[in-house]
Amino acid sequence: MAENLIISAGSKEEKYAVLYGQVKALAEGENDIIANMANISSMIHQTFGFWWTGFYRVCGQELVLGPFQGPLACSRIRFGRGVCGTAWKEAKTIVVPDVEQFPGHIACSSASRSEIVVPVFNECNTEVVAVLDIDSAELDTFDQTDKEWLEKIARLLYPIR
């Protein structure tokens, strides 16, 4: 497998474009979801230096912590709870510019100031099977560019084969 190159130069858009190509190549060569979640969280985290980057998987009525990079996080989140549980419930991406303004935000770390949560859909695009959660230690980190590219990256986990 190709070495993961850390992309340090260029605009956010350019970094995502390169990252997307790397993730696509990775996902095409490996079909174990946990292995791919682990490497994808590492690649995103290394590229952008976020505070916390990882996945929660849907297990029954809860999200259960999956592969991640960053400090200790809560292990389980109930349906509809916090940003992650809300993204799962609504089956859509949630961008939170200031976590203190999000009612019910679950503070796994007091250093987290802004957040984006992207749902991961199954291969039929009918069900949320996981969420990709990214926390930043700065306010207002995530915008439409992050939303669009992270949704594209999330779709690589369960491609329509």
- Binding residues for ligand SME (CB under 6 A): 52, 73-74, 77, 82-84, 105-106, 108, 112, 115, 133, 135
> Residues 6 or more apart from 118 whose CB is under 8 A from it?
87, 93, 131, 132, 147, 150, 151, 154
Q: Which is nearer to ligand SME, 79 or 121 (CB)?
A: 79
Write down the residue that tokens 């799962």 correspond to: 88
What's the residue count for the chain?
161
Minimum gap (Å) between residue 61 Cβ and ligand SME: 15
Q: Which is nearer to ligand SME, 115 or 146 (CB)?
A: 115
How many CB atoms lie under 10 A from the CB of residue 99?
A: 19
Write down the residue that tokens 């230690």 correspond to: 137
Minimum gap (Å) between residue 21 Cβ and ligand SME: 27
Q: Which is nearer to ligand SME, 45 or 105 (CB)?
A: 105
Q: Which is nearer to ligand SME, 102 or 121 (CB)?
A: 102
